[in-house]
Amino acid sequence: MDAIFIGPVDLSNSLGLPGKLDHPLVVESVANVCQKAHSPDLKVGIFADSETIAQLYMKTGVDFIIYSVDSRINPP
């Protein structure tokens, strides 16, 4: 099984909407990628930096979400 990973920050920049990860055009573009890319052997993933954005992307058909990044995790 293979996967593709959507970079939502890069996508928002390409759409002329830098950093607007919840903009309807960005969310619609994510949904379009999911629709066109899905197959039994291909999964689609994306990064989300908040629960709100993760919930938006879950509705688009992504198979997995990477939440936050290691640089934002504070050690104990």
pTM of the model: 0.84
Residue 15 has what pLDDT?
97
Separation between Cα atoms, residue 29 and residue 64, nearest integer Å? 16
- 75 in a domain, yes or no? no
pLDDT tens-place values along the chain, 76 residues long:
799 999 999 999 999 999 999 999 999 999 999 999 988 899 999 999 889 999 999 999 999 999 876 666 666 6
- 16 in a domain, yes or no? yes
Q: Which domain holds residue 25?
A: 2-70
Residue 49 has what pLDDT?
85
- 42 in a domain, yes or no? yes
DSSP 13-63: HHTT-TT-TT-HHHHHHHHHHHHHH-BTTEEEEEEESSHHHHHHHHTTT-S
- 76 in a domain, yes or no? no
First to last CA, the chain: 36
- Count of domains for the chain: 1
